[in-house]
Every structure is written in structure tokens, then in C-alpha cells.
Amino acid sequence: MWRSSNKYQNRENKTGNYHYKMFKCFNRKFKINEAAPPLDVKLAFVECTDHGDHMTAVQLRRFLVLYQEEKDCSLHHAEMIMEQVVQRRYPDKKSYNGKGLTINDFFHFLMFDDLNPPIRNEIHNEMDAPLSHYYVYTGHNSYLTGNQLSSDCSEVPIAKALQNGVRVIELDVWPSSSKDDINVLHGGTLTTPISLIRCLKTIKEFAFVASAYPVIITLEDHLTEELQAKVAEMITETFGSVLYIPESQRLQEFPSPESLKYRIVISTKPPKEYLEDKDKAIEEEHELEADDKSDGDQEYEDYSDNYINSGDLASGYRRLITIHAGKPKGSLRKELRAVSNKVRRLSLNELEIERAAASYGDDLVRFSQRNILRIYPKGTRVDSSNFKPLVAWMHGAQMIAFNMQGYGKSLWSMQGMFKANGGCGYVKKPDFLLNNGPDDKVFDWKRNLPVKMTLKVRVYMGDGWRLDFSHTHFDTYSPPDFYTKVFIVGVPADDAKKKTKIITDDWCPVWNEEFTFPLTVPELAILGIEVREHDMSDKDDFGGQSWLPVSEIKPGIRSIPLSDKRGKKFNNVRLLMRFEFTYKVCFCFQRRFHVTVSEAPADIKSLFQEYSENGIMTVDNLHRFLTDVQKEPNATKEEAQAIIDNLHLNIFHRKGLNLEGFFKYLFGPVNPPLSPSLLAHHDMTAPLSHYFIYTGHNSYLTGNQLNSDCSDIPIIQALKRGVRVIELDIWPNSKKDNVDVLHGGTLTAPVELIKCLRSIKEHAFVASEYPVVITLEDHLTPDLQAKVAEILIQTFGEILFTPGSECLKEFPSPELLKKRIIISTKPPKEYLESKNVKEKENDAQKGKGSSDEEAWGKEVPNLKGVTDAHEKDGLDEENNDDDDLDEKSQNNIAPEYKNLIAIHAGKPKGGLTECLRVDPNKVRRLSLSEQQLEDAVETYGKDIVRFTQRNILRVYPKGIRVDSSNYNPLIGWSHGAQMVAFNMQGYGRSLWLMHGMFRANGGCGYVKKPDFLVKAGPHNEVFDPSVKWPVKKTLKVTVYMGEGWYFDFRHTHFDAYSPPDFYTRVGIAGVPADTIMKKTKTLEDNWVPVWNEEFEFPLTIPELALLRIEVHEYDMSEKDDFGGQTCIPVSELRSGIRAVPLHDRKGEKYKSVKLLMRFEFI
């Protein structure tokens, strides 16, 4: 990652002298000035080191965030940079003092272009859009070593192009002189041929050296049908499995670069020469005409879609073509406007694109949104020169074919464009070229467009020429007189040229000049940088060049390596420059904001002073802090030492922590709000009914309840998160001979049961070793039940738990069931009463309406639904199947299936009173919908609590939640319900509470219920959550600050015109008496908000309380933006100052976003 071969990296600038001879009679002596840090670099060093002499890793990270705006920079990254700088500056380490970087070390870091590059070097564009959505690095006549008339044809230029990242290779294929083989050459010229097979083997060898994304071979073929068949055989044998063969003769949409990774793609058109044999002599006679006629006409004349059915193309050759080239006869404008369900490639020469752009540019843009447009040099460019590519790029043309063996500003701009997106050869076109605007209008650069952004460029200095050039290269009599040209190439309104003053007689020129470039279309702008040496008597000498896509330029002080005329990077020549971007607000004024760096809040500084000596917190000091403030009475000095050791690289190791190190520990990953060392720590030997269990609902659904796909992927994701109860609805397949999983009576697409079971087996114990319960909602005949039993036994083998008796008197414990699979189900009423099958299917669809609320829209305590007739009548599919059947019906159940059921689901016939009756001789599972539970707790709250002391209560979402939203789980938990079944594919506050509850007990998926829900009181009374209990404890929460949004979000994500305005909401979800939400003030325009606000929460039932934390960004005109959330069980919350990581809406933890908070129990 950090390797560099250039000399500059390992040298120390030293002063010296050069001697120049004048008129062969006397010498002139010139002193070589040492490269020194510019004033801006010195000021940045002073500010980031707090006027110190050395820069630590923490201070370097501050510089990278504050000045370089590197939002993804971690402290580890800064430490790696420091280590590399030290290794290069002090190879023997003897002269290094170990304190950090000096100002000269820091300056050298800035000049190291591999450590401080000017543009992003990673692939970051979305790569799964169609090929037509990308600019593609394209070569023209890729086999030519020089000019277009008499140079050699060779595989060497092909290899060089591929090594430079070119993705489109053009080969002109012709019959050999003996007409029995194929050569590559520029037809009708004096170029010497090369065999096709050599070119193909070279492509195979070098195709993916520079990029993993597809290589497209465009064949300009002039072959007979027999030779086409031979070409097809060659291509197939050479490339084998990496050759992409399309499924259809004509694609309706091009595949994506991502789907074509490491693949070779063929693009070609029919050979005009052999389609019209009678015109063969005429064709050959005109071969020497300009390429803009021969090549262009061949591309889009004399054939139509009917060629697919002709006999001229060998079928084996034809089937290899992915990108079809050409168009029917007719005018270009009609072709561009033709509506077709097929996609294709069209080629125009540079003159044709200019004429077309002037007359019907909109049609070009619209055409290139789905199809591929290739632009090639006009035929008069026999010297292999190139043309300006911007006209084509502005109209969406993907393949701008260039002579890569040439040089000049046009080629430099091409090389600059494809430095973008990690240099992978594919650059995503701007959205405005892919999508139409209001009234179906397309992008038109000729309109008077407002300025979107302003790029400010400061050219500080340059160095390295004296290492890469002889001292008389530029001037025989004196050191060079350098100046720098800086210009923008883009849409005409953005084009601009500027240059610095000339610095005379200096190998290390310092210009320190600033230029401003307003940009209307920055997405298409390229920054050109060129150094020249002034010559009074002749043309100015060339001193290096670099072209950079503006959209990829990294803000800050950057090292710009320069290249020669061919585009090859010099070993040492580089410039030091600074880039700043400002954005328009309402197109009338600009605002500029600095990103602040995280600093320890005042309370943290005070605590550090209290627990440190002379600015250092020793191991003993830290141990005392852990005991006193963090309330970790069992903390050892060894643990304190481990914290210190983990915060420093060896070369920066200290015997204790300074303030920065202490703050780093507090705000770091080793200091979370839940103990990282605690695994499952609850008593796991009680019956299953004594635990809240992480439970999924319709676990196989990927989305909504009506028409989403059924898949094993949501099951896998749930198990990886720690979910312990997986629900599968099992139905006969269409042939009635096998078993599928699907949501019956809906449009959901089925998945095979065996696939789901195998995925459960593979991932069951990845997140937790405690048992996985499979609840089967079955709708099967006895024959298929027997088949299910066989599948379960064969799939799970000895890990499948089989109960000793038909009905258990008490459920076994999670400890006893470790690494076991448990089956819970009820009898299938549908097949036991076959005459009602159709009625059942109809009933299953009743009540499927639109959701009465959105998961995000309301607070959890108010998540109440309307009881629909479907649920009032007890006709819910889940509830309906719970009825116990008479003895005759029970005998119809397949015995091998019945023997596997460990948790029997069902209820006696009768009302809810009878349903909740506790049987001392057997335990069972009862299912109620959320609405049924809400209705039941009003009258039978205590009965439900008593029932759940021995039996299992499962609560599931009401039927109208077709959007897979969820409900308030606290109602179920506060009444002892073990299985509160949730749609895990959804999101919203309810699901966040579920995630929070099961972060407890090491995230094992089983949380021990509080004793008051498991045991009756002295007078056999049970817990009543509706009663207002006295306050047991008070939780005091201090919200200090937050950080990380700048790293995990685009800088315009929250607000296009300014940094975000964050506030934090903190509250409790629990029994009604404890439930409350509070919020901090809103801090404006700050990526690192510091609130320093304190809140108190009296808790009557802390055992059921969850601490809710949400961050939002205030929006005056719309709904406030979401900035992260987490939910923490209060019973497991650690006292002290803690780093609280935040999660996205789906519950996935952000990489960097976190809050610094303090928790105290009083």
C-alpha cells in the first residue's frame, strides 16, 4: 500500500551549487535552494500541534480531518502514515527522537504523492448499472505502434494500453495473404500485419492487470463466413470461461461492469465487404479514402436487423457478439430517434459528432442513455493525433476512441478523465446525462447554467527536476525559469486558462499564487496542470504535466506528481498545491465551513487533571479512575495497562496516557456502554418459559407480507443477528408432492423447505450456542407431514431435540438445549377439515389492507391499531390453527411428525379465561395477535402473567401490517410473553427496541425474565404492570458530544448548503410510568456537536426499561433527517463515561458515528 520506488521519497534536500559555462570563457555559479515548507504548511503545523515542535499521530489525524477534509481518516491510518514517513526519513531509526514528526518531516509527508495523493484512488462509483451508463477507456486501432499509414502492427501497444487501464481494444481483422488465416492490420495502408492469435493471447495475459472490469474487443472485420467461424473458434479457445456469451441475440439492456468482472466482451458489426460480393472491387479501391468515410459508412450503412437471419455471419461467430454495432439505412437523426427494445453501438467520427451536436444534441444525449456511442478520429489524422473529447462526453458518448500511441493535450485530458474511479477504466456518467429533467428535457450545455461550485487552486512550489533532468537540459547557461499553467477543460462556459509568474534561475521554484475557477458543470471538468520553462529565443520547454478530474480532487494541501509527454510519471518531479471547494447557496452567495476536530469536553479535561500527574495518567491513576468514575470495582491494574498498550504503536509507546490518549480511550471501541467481556451471564438452567426469546415472524419474507419473495437469506440474516425463533409457513408445492415455504393466500413467491432448513443448520449457532426454535405453521396432509418429519431428521440429525413424552410437564432449559434444534407447531386444520379448504384460503386474505401507520411515524407507546373484523372474529390464520383437535383428529396426524414436536401450540375450545388456564401436568404455547393481547390485558392482565410463568405466550403482528411494520413489544414483555414475534426485515422504533432488548445477556438471544414475572408473591399475587410502582432508582444521563457523521455520510447528505444541525433525543421505553423522551438543544452547522446536557429518568421497573438514544438533524422545511439510533437495556448499562456507537435504521452499526455519554445511577 505504501511502497514507492522514486528517489524523492528517501532523500533529504541538500544545498549545493551548479556551474554553467558562458561563451566558453567563464563560469557562472548558481546555488541550489533547498525545498522549504511554504508559510501555509508552517501555520498548519503550528495550529495542529498547539505550537509544539513535533506532531503526534493524533495531531496528524487532526490535520488530515481539518485541513485535508479526509472524512474517513482513522487514527490507525494516521499512525500508518507516520510510520511510513519515519521509515523513509530515518531508515536506521538512530536519528529519530520518537516524539513525532518535525516540521521538515511533515513537509516531506506532504510532498510524498503516494501518502498524500491529489485524487481518490479507490473504486467508488456504483458499478452495477448498464454499460451505457459509463464512460469507457477506449483505444483506436490498438495494434498500431505509430502512424496510421506505415507503422508496424504489434501486440506491444495492446499490452501497454491494457496495463494503463484501457478497457476497449480495437482490432481490424483481415484474411491473411493465403486467405486461410486471420491477420490484424490497418487495411489499405503500408502497415505490416500481425496474426490475430498473438493479439488475443496478449489480451488474455494483460486484460486484468490494471482493472478487474471487463475488456471489450471491438472487431472491425473484413472476413469470409469461413474465417469468421475460425475467429469464433480462436476466441472461444483462447479465452475459455472468461469469454462472455450473451443469453440473447439482441439485448434489451446492456449488462453491468460488476456482472462482467474478469470477462471478455465482443462487439462487432457485419462485414460489408462480403455482404456485397459484387461491390468487392469497388470497396478495395476506396480503402485508402479517409477513415471518416470508410470506417463510418461501414459502421451504419448497408445492413439491417435482418442480417441476424442471413447466412453471411457464421452462427458460432454471431452468438459471441454482446454489443451489436450499426444501424438501419436512413438519416442519422432518424436513427437516433428510433424507438427500439434493443440496445446497440453506433460509431461516428469526430467531425460527425460535432455536426450532430450542433444540430440535434438532445437526440445524442437521449440515444446514449441506453445505447453506446463510439467516437473515433477522422481519417486525416494519419499521424495518430487525437481530438478534443469533451464534445462527445458532454453528449453522453461512452467510447471515445483514442490513438494511445500518440501524445498531446487531448490524450492528457483522456488520461486525466480515467484517473477517476480508481483508474478502473469505467467512470459513471453524471446523473444529468442518464436521467431526463422536467418535461422530459435532457441536459443541454448550451443553456445558461448557474455556477455550482468554485474551485480555488493555490500553486505553492515545485521540486524534483534536478533529479530527473541534466543540469543543462532546459538552459545551457543557467538554471531553468519555470512557470506553471493551470486550466480547466470542460463545458465551454467553464474553460479557463491561467498561469503563474516566471521564477528565474531556480530548480526549486516557489510561486505561491492562487487561482479561482467558477464551474457550472464540475462533473465534466478536468483540471490541467502544465509546467513550462521560459525560453526567450525558442519555444518554451516542457517541464511536466498532470490532468485531474475535478470531481475526484481531494481538498487540502496535496502533492501533484508530474508526467512526461507520453503520460509516464517522472520519478521525482512534483508540485505542492492546495485545493479548496466552495458551493453556491441559492445561486447567489457562497458559504464556507471548516470541519472541527473532536476535542475532549470540559468535564473530561477536569477528570484528567484530577486523575493525572504532570499531564500523564499512569497505570495507577487509570486504575483509580476505572474504579471511582467508571464504577468497575473488579478492574485490575493489568487491565489498565492493557488499555494503555492498546492505544499506542510501539514507536510512540508511553508509560501512561496524556489528555489525547485518555480521550481516545474514552471515545474508543474499548469503552462501550455494555461490557464487551460479558457473554451469556444470566442463569441459563431455568425452563424456557422463564426467558424472553428473540423471535422472528414470517422469517422467510424479504419484504412486505403480500408480494415479496420468500428466501432463505432473511433467515440467515436473522440467525446471524442472534434471533432464536424462526417461523416457517409450510404448504404443499404446486404438484402436491413436496413442501414449500410461503405466505399462503398472497402473491409471495415460494422457496423450498429443504433450502430453508439447510440454511438454518448452517447458521443456527453462528451468533449463539443456545437453542433455535423452529415454529412450523403447517398446512399439510398427513403424507406431507411425514415427509417433513423425514426431512427434519435427515437435515438436523442428532442436533434435533426429540421430547421424551408427547406433552411436557415443564419446558427444558436453554442450557440443556445448547446447540439443539427444537420444533414447535400445531395441527393443520386445513387438511383435517378438507371441506373448508377454500374458505380457509379466502379467510387468509381477509383483513389484508393498508397499514394504519408507518413504523417511523409514531412513538412506541402510541403504537395502537384498530381491531378489524378479521381479528375480532378469531379468524386470523395463526390463531385459527391453535385450536386443539379432538382425539379422532389427532390420530390423523403423522406419528413421526407428532413425535418431533417439543413445544405444542394450541388452546382448548372456549373463551380466553379457559385459554389462559394453567395445567399443572403439561405446558404449551399460545399465540395471540398484538391486538388480541392489547384487548386481553385490559381484563386478563394478571391471568396472562400467571400463564406465562409456566407456559409460552407468542405475540405476532396483526394482519393489516402488510408493510412488515411492527408494534410495541413492551406490552408483551411486561406481561411475561416470551416470544414477541417481529418482522425482522422491517425497521422503525419498535424494531430498535427489539434489537436493544436482545443486546442483553451477551446477545445470546435469551434474556432471563425478572423474578417478579416468574414467581408469585407471598399471597400468590402476580405482577401488575398497570399499577404505578414506587421509584426504584434514577438514571442520570449526560450527553457530551458526538462525532463520525462526517466520515460516514457525504458532506451534503444532511444539508446541501451547510453542515448539519444535530440534536439528540434520549428517553426510556418501559412500563407506562417510566416511558418518556427528552431532547438536547440543536447545534447549528457542526459535524462534531458538543451538547453537554444532563437528563434524569426516575425508574419504577428498571428491569424492563430500555434506554433510547436517537440523533436527528433539524430541517426547517421538511421532516428532520435521521442521524443514528441505539437502544440499550438499562439493566446491563455500565456506569461511567462511555462511547455509544449508533446504528442505522435497519440496525446496522455505523462505521464511525458515536456519542460520548455518561451514565450514573442514583
Which sequence spans correspond to the domains of the chain? 7-111, 131-436, 453-591, 602-666, 688-1014, 1033-1161
Rounded mean pLDDT, 1089-1105 = 97
Residue 592's pLDDT is 58
> What is the rounded CA–CA span in Å between residue 1003 and residue 1045?
26
Q: Which residue has the higher pLDDT, 269 or 307?
A: 269
Rounded mean pLDDT, 464-487 = 92
AA letter at 356: A
Is it true that domain 131-436 has CATH number 3.20.20.190?
A: yes
Averaged confidence pLDDT in the chain: 86
> What is the rounded CA–CA span in Å between residue 956 and residue 354?
65
Which residue has 509507546 as its cell numbers?
653
Q: For domain 453-591, give the CATH number.
A: 2.60.40.150
Rounded mean pLDDT, 999-1004 = 96
Q: How many CA atoms lie within 13 A of 1115 on its CB side?
A: 15
Question: Is-contact 969 976, C-beta < 8 A?
Answer: no
> What is the rounded CA–CA span in Å between residue 1011 and residue 691?
11
Which of 143-157, 908-922, 1016-1030 shows the highest mean pLDDT? 143-157
SS (H, E, C) 876-915: CHHHHCCECCCHHHHHCCCHHHHCCEEEEECECCCCHHHH
AA letter at 1114: Y
> What is the rounded CA–CA span in Å between residue 850 and residue 963?
8
| Nearest by Cα to 260 from 330, 208, 210, 221 | 208
Rounded mean pLDDT, 405-410 = 88
Residue 33's pLDDT is 72
Residue 5's pLDDT is 40
Residue 26's pLDDT is 60
Q: Which segment of 105-109, 457-461, 517-521, 1018-1022 scores lowest on mean pLDDT?
A: 1018-1022
Confidence of residue 650 (pLDDT cuts 50, 70, 90): very low
> What is the rounded CA–CA span in Å between residue 981 and residue 967?
10
SS3 433: helix
Rounded mean pLDDT, 629-649 = 87
* 944 pLDDT above the threshold of 70: yes
**Global pTM?**
0.57
Rounded mean pLDDT, 906-918 = 76
Q: Which residue has the higher pLDDT, 293 or 719?
A: 719
CB atoms within 10 A of CB 1118: 6
1138 bridge partner residues:
1157
Which residue spans within 354-481 are E strands per DSSP?
372-376, 399-402, 426-428, 453-463
- DSSP-derived secondary structure letter, 665: H
Task: Give the containing element (helix H, strand E) for 787.
Answer: helix 782-796
* 286 pLDDT above the threshold of 60: no
Confidence of residue 314 (pLDDT cuts 50, 70, 90): low
Q: How many CA atoms lie within 13 A of 1004 on its CB side?
A: 20
Residue 14's pLDDT is 46
Rounded mean pLDDT, 1082-1096 = 95
SS3 346: strand
User: 978 — phi, psi (to 5°)?
Assistant: -80, -45
Residue 302's pLDDT is 36
Residue 73's pLDDT is 84
Question: Is-contact 136 425, C-beta < 8 A?
Answer: yes
- Cα distances (Å, whole numbers) of residue 751 to 639, 708, 716, 730: 50, 12, 14, 10
Residue 19's pLDDT is 58
Question: Is-contact 186 174, C-beta < 8 A?
Answer: no
* 684 pLDDT above the threshold of 90: yes
| Nearest by Cα to 511 from 519, 523, 522, 503 | 503
Residue 441's pLDDT is 86
Is it true that domain 602-666 has CATH number 1.10.238.10?
A: yes
Q: Which segment of 8-12, 438-442, 851-855, 899-903 scores lowest on mean pLDDT?
A: 851-855
User: Could you tell me which residues come within 8 angstroms of residue 720 by beta carbon, excluding any fewer than 6 positions away?
Assistant: 763, 766, 767
Confidence of residue 655 (pLDDT cuts 50, 70, 90): confident
CB atoms within 10 A of CB 761: 16
* 960 pLDDT above the threshold of 60: yes
Q: For domain 688-1014, give the CATH number.
A: 3.20.20.190
Domains 453-591 and 602-666 share a fold: no
| Nearest by Cα to 196 from 209, 208, 185, 180 | 185
- The Cα angle at residue 811 between residues 807 and 813, in degrees rounded to 5: 150
CB atoms within 10 A of CB 650: 7
Question: Is-contact 265 323, C-beta < 8 A?
Answer: yes
CB atoms within 10 A of CB 921: 7
- DSSP-derived secondary structure letter, 588: T
Residue 654's pLDDT is 55
Rounded mean pLDDT, 447-452 = 88
Tens-digit pLDDT profile for residues 818-867: 999 999 997 545 445 443 444 444 444 333 333 333 323 344 333 333 33
Rounded mean pLDDT, 158-170 = 97
Q: Which segment of 713-727, 859-873, 922-936 scores lowest on mean pLDDT?
A: 859-873
Question: Is-contact 682 1155, C-beta < 8 A?
Answer: no
Residue 71's pLDDT is 77
The number of helices, as runs of H, and strands, as runs of E, in the chain is 36, 41
AA letter at 704: N
Q: Which segment of 218-227, 585-594, 726-735, 812-821 scores lowest on mean pLDDT?
A: 585-594
Rounded mean pLDDT, 1048-1069 = 90
Which residue has 412488515 as its cell numbers?
964
* 873 pLDDT above the threshold of 80: no
Rounded mean pLDDT, 1119-1147 = 96
CB atoms within 10 A of CB 972: 27
Tens-digit pLDDT profile for residues 514-526: 999 999 999 999 9
User: 167 — phi, psi (to 5°)?
Assistant: -110, -15
> What is the rounded CA–CA span in Å between residue 952 and residue 971?
15
> What is the rounded CA–CA span in Å between residue 270 and residue 329?
14
- What sections of 809-886 are H helices per DSSP? 829-832, 837-845, 869-872, 877-880
Catalytic residues: 697, 743
Is it true that domain 1033-1161 has CATH number 3.40.710.10?
A: no
Q: Is the dihedral of CA 988, 994, 999, 1003 positive or negative?
A: negative
Question: Is-contact 920 871, C-beta < 8 A?
Answer: no
